[in-house]
Chain A
Amino acid sequence: MNWDVVTRNLPYLLEGTVMTIAVSLAGILVGQVLGAFICVGRISGGRVGETLGAVYVSFFRGVPLLIQLLLIYYMLPLVGIDVPPLVAAVGALGLASSAYVSEIYRGSLLAIPHGHGEAALALGFSEGSIWRRILLPQAFRLSVPALVNELILLLKASSLISVVGVAELTRVSQSVASSTYRPLEAYMAAGAIYLIINGALALLGVLVERRLARS
């Protein structure tokens, strides 16, 4: 083992790490917003909303992320839309996570007693403010543990975006491996970094959950 390789390339690896975190966060953010809309659409969009939502969810859950990513990257240019790798990456992660996030929200919404919305209706709330003020904030709180879990999965899945050339942690460790001929050290370093980030995320999740439970 030659750990010198790792220390010398640490700045690159850390840059890759920052990219990995940024892309994953952007992805989960897109996923959360889209997921909320899909979930609301499925629940209150009548039969059409329900069907469209179900098709959407099963597509993005059923097709591997790598294939989705390559589809976005290679298919959109065919119809004249040029996608920079980073956009394709965030888009693919966002779309894929939105399907999971919408299911997480749906589960949480179903756990909210019917009476909470009814009390608001009886007070004269509009449908929109019931979602905004009563249902989604509660659904979000109930969803925190599952969302943290989803973020961890997404962060690991983000290694796939190396295939479209985004310089995230996996991609960087690949190039360190090939330029130094020390693949084992490079990949072990990358693995350790993933482990540290995800450990930190899990810890953060526990803290947030405790905090919410207290209020």
Chain B
Amino acid sequence: MTDVTASPIAGSSPEDRPMITISHLSKSFGETQVLKDINLTVHKSEVVCLIGPSGSGKSTLLRCLNFLESYEAGEVRMEGRLVGYTEGFPRRKMKNRELRALRREVGMVFQHFNLWPHMTAMENVREALVQVKGLPLEEATAKAEAMLTRVGLADRMHAHPSRLSGGQQQRVAIARVVAMEPHVILFDEPTSALDPELVGEVLQVMKDLAADGMTMVVVTHEMGFAANVADRVAFLDGGHIVEDGPPRQVFHESSEPRVRQFLQTYHERNSF
């Protein structure tokens, strides 16, 4: 069902070059192989949701995209650039400096927010602008404030994370990433640690980002979000992508028994 070939740079102009190309990606932790020959392409401004049972390799796949996890076989390319390794064979780890340059363009939002507790919301957003982008403090502050305003936290800017609700913390984390003006944002279950009543505010921020044309890869259990916002849904099971297509196709027309089984369990759990 994958519509992908291994061609690293499809098309010649940067405009139609895919944002992310994953080809024949495999990854093991010691003896256990957790990703098996993954192929997936994400185009500019596309929102792709990754769904699948626990332990299927969703987080690992996402973490390979910014090389928080290394991979042994296959390729991940961001806008044509090989992630984590130098071109050529035998391949060698990319220089740290290059990896950092690449990571600046790939944002990541985590399940547990990972805000820095010794800084206020504003300082959390400002920090990377100063440390990584090298913006002058004033400019970085103004930008951080604008970002927090954009996610609806203008009045909570000077609060420390411990004084914010989970939903507010996750919005700060998103602002922190968006402020860096990444080309892609990776989300790993951004609402899974939230109380149900706080999920909506975070999903709304994500919807706004998608509407602004942000390229997003989202691991989620929010099937509503996947159905309404995603351009494509990929279903992972046991380290394989077993289904990949538009939400309607994956949710309603899949003949893959594992997908049907998963969705059925999901529906049963979510109906009274």
Q: What is the interface of chain A, defined by CB distance below 8 A to chain B?
A: 113, 115-116, 118-127, 129, 133-134, 137-138, 141, 215
Give A50 to B73 CA distance when docked, in angstroms.
Answer: 31
* Also in contact, A115 and B128, with CB within 8 A (given A122-B106, A126-B100): no
Measured CB to CB, the nearest residue on chain A to B133 is A124
Verify if B118 is at the interface (C-beta below 8 Å from A): yes
* Also in contact, A124 and B117, with CB within 8 A (given A113-B112, A115-B110, A215-B160): no
- CB pair B131 A122 closer than 8 Å: no
The smallest beta-carbon distance between A73 and chain B, in angstroms, is: 41
The smallest beta-carbon distance between B46 and chain A, in angstroms, is: 20
The smallest beta-carbon distance between A198 and chain B, in angstroms, is: 28
Give A113 to B103 CA distance when docked, in angstroms.
Answer: 21
- CB pair A123 B160 closer than 8 Å: no
Choose among B101, B106, B110, B127 the residue that contacts A133 (Cβ–Cβ < 8 A): B127
The smallest beta-carbon distance between A154 and chain B, in angstroms, is: 26
Give A188 to B112 CA distance when docked, in angstroms.
Answer: 56
- CB pair B103 A122 closer than 8 Å: yes
Verify if B177 is at the interface (C-beta below 8 Å from A): yes
Contact with A along B175-202 (1 / 0, CB 8 A): 0110010000000000000000000000
Verify if B23 is at the interface (C-beta below 8 Å from A): no
- CB pair A124 B127 closer than 8 Å: no
Verify if B225 is at the interface (C-beta below 8 Å from A): no
Chain B residues whose C-beta falls within 8 Å of the C-beta of A134 in the assembled complex? 116
22 residue pairs bridging A and B, Cβ less than 8 Å apart: A113-B112, A115-B114, A116-B116, A119-B116, A119-B173, A122-B103, A123-B103, A123-B107, A123-B128, A123-B132, A124-B100, A124-B101, A124-B128, A124-B180, A126-B100, A129-B132, A133-B127, A134-B116, A137-B118, A138-B116, A215-B118, A215-B160
Give the interface residue-count category, chain B.
Answer: 20 to 34
Verify if B76 is at the interface (C-beta below 8 Å from A): no
- CB pair B96 A126 closer than 8 Å: yes
Contact with A along B72-107 (1 / 0, CB 8 A): 000000000000000000000000100011011011
Verify if B4 is at the interface (C-beta below 8 Å from A): no
Give A115 to B66 CA distance when docked, in angstroms.
Answer: 15
Chain A residues whose C-beta falls within 8 Å of the C-beta of B118 in the assembled complex? 137-138, 141, 215
Chain B residues whose C-beta falls within 8 Å of the C-beta of A133 in the assembled complex? 127, 131
Verify if B20 is at the interface (C-beta below 8 Å from A): no
Chain A residues whose C-beta falls within 8 Å of the C-beta of B117 in the assembled complex? 138
The smallest beta-carbon distance between A116 and chain B, in angstroms, is: 6
- CB pair B116 A123 closer than 8 Å: no
The smallest beta-carbon distance between B163 and chain A, in angstroms, is: 10
- The listed residue with most A CB atoms (<10 A of its CB), out of B116, B132, B160, is B116
